[in-house]
Structure formats: C-alpha cells, structure tokens
Amino acid sequence: FFDHIEAAPADPILGLTETFKNDPNPKKINLGVGVYKNEAGVTPILDCVKQAEKLIFETETTKSYLPITGLPEFGRLTRELIFGADSELVDGGRAVTCHCPGGTGALRIGADFIKQQNVAAKMWISDPTWANHYQIATAAGLKFERYPYYDRATHGLAFERMLETLNQAEEGDVVVLHACCHNPTGIDPTVEQWERIADFISEKKLLPFIDFAYQGFGHGIEEDAQGLRIIASRCKEMIIASSYSKNLGLYNERVGALTIVSADKETAARVLSQMKIAVRTAISNPPAHGEKVVTTVLSNNELRALWESELTAMRERIRNMRVLLVEKLKEAGAGDFDFITEQNGMFSFSGLNKDQVEILRKEFSIYIVGSGRICVAGINAENVDALAKAIADVIKR
Ligand code: LMR
C-alpha cells in the first residue's frame, strides 16, 4: 500500500526548527519559526496566562467535551477583539465564530467550508505569503492564484500591481489578505490603501478571507484591526481566521477562531450550522484548555490589563530589535537596511537570497527561512552582533 510513497520535502518553517535542534554548534541562532523570544532567548508563558491557569486549575470541575463551536463566550470575546467592543458584529447575529485549533485550523476549516458549501472555487493569495496558505488551499480542494504584494526595489507594497492583478479575479473568487504584520514581508497597507482595497473587493464582488494571526504585534490591538474593520464596513460578507498563538503566547495550546460574517442573521444561522459540520468532520470539537485561558484573560479586567501590558512589552522589544539590527548592520559594513524599521510584526524580509540563507545556516549556524525572512522576535543583545557580522560577510561575497 505504501511502497509508492515519495519522501516529502521538509516544511520550510517547522522543518528548519528540526534541523536547528540537531545542530551541535553552541552559538547557533534560530530566527526561523515565528515564535516570540524574550531578551534571554526564552519563549515565556505570559503572566496573565499563568494566573488564568491558576484560576482554571482551582475552579475546573470537568474535562467533558466542549460544544462543536467552543463556548459562546469565547466566540463573543473573539468578535469583540477583532471588530471592536462597540461593533454591531459582536452581538448582532451576522457574525458567527467557531473555536478552531490555532490560526491554521481556522484557515483550513474555513477553506473546507468554502469547498463543501460551493462558496467559491478559487482563492487569490499574496506572493509572497506564509507558505502554508498555498498548501491549505490545495488540501481543501481549492484552486489558487497569486497576486503580487512586495516590491523588491522599494521594499514596500506593490499596491498598484496587486490591484491590477486582482482585477483578473472573477466575481465570487476569494481574496486572502493578512490583516496586519504581513507574513513574511512585514509590510502592511496604509489606511488609505485599505479603503481602496475594501472598495475594490466590494465592487468586484470578491469574498475577503482575512488571516489575522498577529493582532497586537504591529501597532496595537485596535490599530492592527483597522484594515479588517474597514473591510467589514464595506463588505457585507467576509471570513476571518484569527489566532491567540502569538498574542497570548499560546502556541502549543492551538487556540484560534474562524469567524464568518453574513449579510443578515438568518443566513448567519444557516452558515453556523454548516460550519459545525466542517468542524465536526475535521476535529469533532475543539480542545478546551487554551480556550478557557483566553476567555479567563479577556473577561477579567485585571488579567486583561496585564495581558495588554505584556503584549505591549513584546511589541516594543521587537521594534527595539529592528532598530538595533539596522545599527549593527551599518556598523558591520552591510549597508543601509533602514527599511527593516518600517516593517511590522515578528518578521523582517531581509532581501537575502536562497544561497545567502544557506551560507548563513551552513557556515554560521544562523537559521532563517529560505525566502530571506528573519524572525526579529528571536534577536537579542547577545546574538545581534554575530548576526549582523554574518549577514555583512555573506552579502559582501
Ligand atoms: C511562522 O510563520 O513561522 C508561524 O506562523 C509558525 C508556523 O506555523 O509556520
């Protein structure tokens, strides 16, 4: 049965972590996977999470199944976070939410829903994007096309080319957008550009599918939702895959959410009934622990305030590391990398090519993704000099 099976290539991001673990060099640096590390190089459990876990430990009385969608309170709090506490989409019935295992789970269950319900046949996905987007579309049985996103010459958004290409989309196609902290480029549209994107999508009758994995890592919880909210104000229907992996540091608890907005609440009720089938057939019902942590933190004023301050500290540390890296690169004679400070979120699209990335790995034990994506959240005062010198060395060859 299995003889014909060919070995698959390692995952471009998670495969790198495996190679890193096997590297005996004590000075190795992992800037591959999108995981936050503090100044000491540790991915901490947030204090707000630890405190919530203590409360859960003391009060939890059962490990019985959650509902297929997760508990309604989780969905409500998630909608508050993404649409804003005063949005009519929080309680109005047009938006419905299912807890899915991580942002990836939400993307896949959303894609399954699109396929199963004949919502659309094709997705338009940015080039470049998080490598798993293309695989998820294909695995769900959807076709995809790429639209240009990054302009190498200016290190900015290829905005006009993006819209020109999307002009080829047909009515009813899905457009995947990153709400903030675009992965891998770190380049986000401006408010004016979001407005044009929203008008464009609504005029062409495309369905926005928004990947919202980094809320709070760009400019702030509310600020990072601006683009999504502009889309929501102009498009009656949309899909959102959001995640608590990064902003609550709940990576291995797999806690994300799929939210679908319909034109009216009667449609939304029917949509929810079918989302439940998509969840039931993929995972039956979601894991409870991460969901309970999220619900506890977001609904408790003290823990919520603590979370916001911890999230701000993570965001600011990453911004500081951007500035430090640019300075060190200049000192090392690598040239002008000022554009790195303009990018948002965990990642920096460095401009390094595949060969340079390979030299960094083989000769310096520095691990970054093949596209040249550096996880800035893994840089600290101790490793930045070695990193800058190694980059300067490879680009001068
Ligand atoms: C990343 O892009 O590194 C993260 O989203 C982790 C992952 O699952 O790839």
Same-domain pairing of 315 and 285: no
User: Tokens in use for 202?
Assistant: 């609504």
Which of 112, 173, 188, 211 is catalytic? The answer is: 211
Which of 37, 246, 292, 328 is catalytic? The answer is: 246
Residue owning the nearest CA to atom 6 of ligand 1:
34
Same-domain pairing of 207 and 159: yes
Predicted confidence (pLDDT) at residue 134 exceeds the cutoff of 90:
yes
Predicted confidence (pLDDT) at residue 339 exceeds the cutoff of 90:
yes
Q: What is the pTM of this model?
A: 0.96
Q: Over the stretch 64-112, which tens digit does the pLDDT of each residue have?
A: 999 999 999 999 999 999 999 999 999 999 999 999 999 999 999 999 9
Cα–Cα distance measured from residue 26 to residue 99, given in angstroms and rounded to the nearest whole number = 40
Task: Provide residues with CB under 6 Å of ligand 1.
Answer: 13, 33-34, 130, 183
Same-domain pairing of 21 and 78: no
Cα–Cα distance measured from residue 204 to residue 359, given in angstroms and rounded to the nearest whole number = 45
Cα–Cα distance measured from residue 394 to residue 103, given in angstroms and rounded to the nearest whole number = 35
Q: Are 259 and 242 in contact (CB under 8 A)?
A: yes
Amino acid at 363: E
CA of 380 to the centre of ligand 1 (A): 20
Choosing from 130, 132, 136 the residue with most ligand 1 atoms within 8 A of its CB, the one to mutate for a pocket test is 130
Q: Are 389 and 332 in contact (CB under 8 A)?
A: yes
Same-domain pairing of 213 and 349: no
Q: Over the stretch 231-264, which tens digit does the pLDDT of each residue have?
A: 999 999 999 999 999 999 999 999 999 999 999 9
Query: Is residue 56 domain-resident?
Result: no
Same-domain pairing of 254 and 321: no
Q: Name the DSSP letter for residue 187.
A: -
Query: Is residue 3 domain-resident?
Result: no
Q: What percent of the chain has pLDDT over 70?
A: 100
CA of 242 to the centre of ligand 1 (A): 13
Residue 369 Cα: closest atom of ligand 1: 3
Computed over every residue of the chain, the mean pLDDT equals 96
Residue 375 Cα: closest atom of ligand 1: 3
Same-domain pairing of 270 and 194: yes
Same-domain pairing of 292 and 312: no
Residue owning the nearest CA to atom 2 of ligand 1:
34
User: Tokens in use for 283?
Assistant: 């995972």
CATH value at residue 235: 3.40.640.10
Residue 213 Cα: closest atom of ligand 1: 5
Please give the ipTM for the structure prediction: 0.93
Cα–Cα distance measured from residue 225 to residue 227, given in angstroms and rounded to the nearest whole number = 6
Q: How confident is the model at residue 39 (pLDDT cuts 50, 70, 90)?
A: very high
CATH value at residue 351: 3.90.1150.10
Same-domain pairing of 380 and 245: no
Same-domain pairing of 166 and 272: yes
Same-domain pairing of 202 and 342: no
Q: Among all chains, which residue has been given the structure tokens 């996880």?
A: 375
DSSP 137-169: HHHTT-EEEEEE-EETTTTEE-HHHHHHHHTTP
Q: How confident is the model at residue 61 (pLDDT cuts 50, 70, 90)?
A: very high
The whole-number average pLDDT for the span 279-284 is 97
Determine whether 105 is exposed, middle or buried from the number of CB atoms within 10 Å of its CB (0-12, 13-18, 19+). Answer: buried
Query: Is residue 60 domain-resident?
Result: no
- Structural domain total, the chain: 2
The whole-number average pLDDT for the span 133-140 is 97
Q: How confident is the model at residue 397 (pLDDT cuts 50, 70, 90)?
A: confident
Reply yes or no on whether 130 is catalytic. Answer: yes
Residue 34 Cα: closest atom of ligand 1: 3
The residue among 252, 275, 299 that closes a domain is 299
Q: Are 34 and 375 in contact (CB under 8 A)?
A: yes
pLDDT of residue 6: 96
The residue among 299, 318, 350 that closes a domain is 299
CB-side exposure of 304: number of CA atoms within 13 Å? 10
Return the H-helix or E-strand segment holding 302.
helix 301-331
pLDDT of residue 344: 96
Q: Over the stretch 156-189, which tens digit does the pLDDT of each residue have?
A: 999 999 999 999 999 999 999 999 999 999 999 9
Q: Name the DSSP letter for residue 208.
A: E
Q: Over the stretch 3-29, which tens digit does the pLDDT of each residue have?
A: 999 999 989 899 999 999 999 999 999
The residue among 253, 277, 299 that closes a domain is 299
Query: Is residue 57 domain-resident?
Result: no
CA of 364 to the centre of ligand 1 (A): 23
pLDDT of residue 111: 98
Query: Is residue 307 domain-resident?
Result: yes
Same-domain pairing of 265 and 339: no
pLDDT of residue 370: 87
Cα–Cα distance measured from residue 218 to residue 224, given in angstroms and rounded to the nearest whole number = 6
Choosing from 33, 129, 185, 252 the residue with most ligand 1 atoms within 8 A of its CB, the one to mutate for a pocket test is 33
The whole-number average pLDDT for the span 213-221 is 98
Query: Is residue 5 domain-resident?
Result: no
Query: Is residue 361 domain-resident?
Result: yes
Domain span at 340: 14-45+303-396
The whole-number average pLDDT for the span 338-349 is 94
Reply yes or no on whether 211 is catalytic. Answer: yes
Query: Is residue 168 domain-resident?
Result: yes
pLDDT of residue 83: 98
Same-domain pairing of 75 and 222: yes
User: Tokens in use for 29?
Assistant: 């640096």
